[in-house]
Amino acid sequence: MDLFEKLQELRDQGLSEIDKAKTEEKLNDVRVKLVGRKSELTEILHSMKDVEPEKRREIGQKVNKVRDLFNQKLDDAKNEIVEKLVKEQLEKEAIDVTLPGREEHLGTKHPINIILDDLEKYFIGMGFKVAQGPEIETDHYCFEMMNLPKDHPARDMQETFYIDSEDLLRSQTSGDQARELEKHDFSKGPLKMVGPGKVYRRDDDDATHSHQFMQMEGLVVDKNITMGDLKGTLELMAKHVFGQDRETRLRPSYFPFTEPSVEMDVSCFNCNGKGCSICKYTGWIEVLGAGMVHPNVLENAGVDSNVYGGFAFGVGLDRFAILKYGIDDIRDFYTNDVRFLEQFSKEER
Ligand code: PHE
């Protein structure tokens, strides 16, 4: 076979190899083989010394032409491969701008916390301090200090979860009164405090009962505190929470730690006192218990009841939230369904 034929064969074979190389890696191998230093084309050039001088020029030109063709085709093939890769990559990473966006889910404040935070601020503004007692409370603070000795019949008013004979899940926040009374230095001024927190009772859960709920205790003790102070304080709070045009009334009641004891009603915000299903056709809604601190409670904590007196109140925060937001099932507060929780005051995050 003469060199011309050989070149022709090399050319055809080379072109078909370039055609078959579908990755950059394979193409590189082909490039080395076809136009590298040890390629057959180079070999032909080296063997030119054996060729008759008049043919050398022609063969030289032909070799260069084949090499140029190879280089050209190799470059084209490489570009094609790179373009294909880029296209694939772009397709893979393409963003569908017509897809709906993903909403960010920020938490919202729990409705009870909205009311609690608001009330805390309200009372702090009136010079109260916030004092919290333990949820696992002792019989001593929860009951005995609060004028409820061991066999007092009024203990039945609160079905209590006992842990052992002394420790219990507090059924009321009233123990906070005793703890603060014991600590307070009356030479420095009156004691004014609110004590919010969780309480527990052995109740069967239904739409209006929960074995866990939130209370806020209130206590003011000083010289010359009267029932008028109690009434004024509670009335202002009720108007703050339920609206300025609400009316309040006090009804006589009984609590072992207050004497006299009262319950406060707020005029029904739904029917404005005319009577509806929310107020059970009475025009009034009961919102809290209160009274003048029983002298025994003061004495138990070492406070002279002949010099000092005061008032106390206990607010059911769940009840406040139920009334304020028109919620018909107390269990919604504790089952943590975000669809329920999200409804309250978006700005209160
Ligand atoms: N502790 C009482 C209750 O849970 C409420 C209350 C508190 C009443 C303070 C009077 C004074 O029912």
- Write out pLDDT tens, residues 176-233: 999 999 999 999 999 999 999 999 999 899 988 899 999 999 999 999 999 999 999 9
Q: What's the pLDDT tens digit per position in 230-275?
A: 999 999 999 999 999 889 999 999 999 999 999 999 998 888 889 9
Question: 203: alpha, beta or left, given left = phi > 0 and alpha = psi -120 to 50?
Answer: beta
Instruction: Assign residue 327 the CATH number of its domain.
Output: 3.30.930.10
259 is an annotated ligand-binding site residue: yes
For residue 279, give the amino acid letter. Answer: C
CA of 117 to the centre of ligand 1 (A): 20
Q: Are residues 81 and 135 in the same domain?
A: no
- What phi-psi label fits residue 154: left (phi over 0), alpha (psi between -120 and 50 degrees) or beta? alpha
Q: What is the pLDDT of residue 310?
A: 98
Q: What is the mean pLDDT of residues 97-111?
A: 87
Residue 103 lies in a domain: no
Q: Are residues 201 and 337 in the same domain?
A: yes
Classify residue 51: in a domain, yes or no.
Answer: yes
Phi, psi values for residue 40, rounded to 5°: -65, -30
Collect all residues with Cβ–Cβ distance below 8 Å to 78 and sequence separation of at least 6.
Answer: 24, 27
- The protein residue with its alpha carbon nearest to ligand 1, atom 9, reads 313
pLDDT single digits (tens) 289-322:
999 999 999 999 999 999 999 999 999 999 999 8
Cβ–Cβ under 8 Å, residues 171 and 199:
yes
Residues 145 and 274 in one domain: yes
The Cα 233–Cα 253 span in angstroms is 18
- Residues 6+ away with beta carbon under 8 Å from 119: 194, 196, 216, 237, 241, 315, 317
Could you give the CA distance from residue 334 to residue 318 in angstroms, rounded to a whole number?
10
What pLDDT shows up at residue 346?
Answer: 62
Residue 329 CA to its chain's centroid (Å): 22
Full domain range(s) for residue 18: 3-92
CA 313 – ligand 1 centroid, Å: 6
Clarify whether residues 137 and 217 are in a common domain: yes
- Give residues (CB < 6 A) around ligand 1: 172, 174, 255, 258, 289-291, 312-314
Q: By 3-state DSSP, what share of the chain in percent is helix, strand and coil, each rounded to 5?
A: 45, 20, 35
User: Of 45, 60, 92, which marks where a domain is finished?
Assistant: 92
Same domain (yes/no): 119, 75: no
Q: Indicate if 264 and 337 belong to the same structural domain.
A: yes
Number of separate domains in the chain: 2
Percent of residues, the chain, with pLDDT higher than 70: 98
Residues 51 and 126 in one domain: no
Same domain, 118 and 84: no
33: number of Cβ within 10 Å? 14
Mutate to test the pocket of ligand 1, among 253, 255, 258, 292 (most ligand atoms within 8 A of CB): 255
Strands laid side by side in the 258-267 sheet? 129-130, 191-200, 212-222, 309-316, 284-293, 258-267, 248-255
Ligand 1 atom nearest residue 219's Cα: 9
Among protein residues, the one whose CA lies closest to atom 5 of ligand 1: 314
Single-letter residue type at 1: M
Looking at residue 278, its pLDDT comes to 80
- Does one domain contain both 155 and 297? yes
By alpha-carbon position, which residue is closest to atom 4 of ligand 1? 172
Phi-psi region of 106 (alpha: psi -120 to 50; beta: other; left: phi over 0): beta
Residue 284 lies in a domain: yes
HSE toward the beta carbon, residue 249, CA cutoff 13 A: 10
Q: Where are the alpha helices (DSSP H) in the chain?
A: 3-20, 24-35, 40-46, 53-92, 111-125, 139-142, 175-183, 227-242, 295-300, 317-325, 332-335, 338-341
Q: Name the residue with tokens 């200090």.
A: 145
A 10 A CB-CB count for 55 gives 14
Q: Residue 18: pLDDT above 80?
A: yes
Taking the CA of residue 261 as reference, the ligand 1 atom at the shortest distance is: 10
Is the domain of 74 the same as that of 206?
no
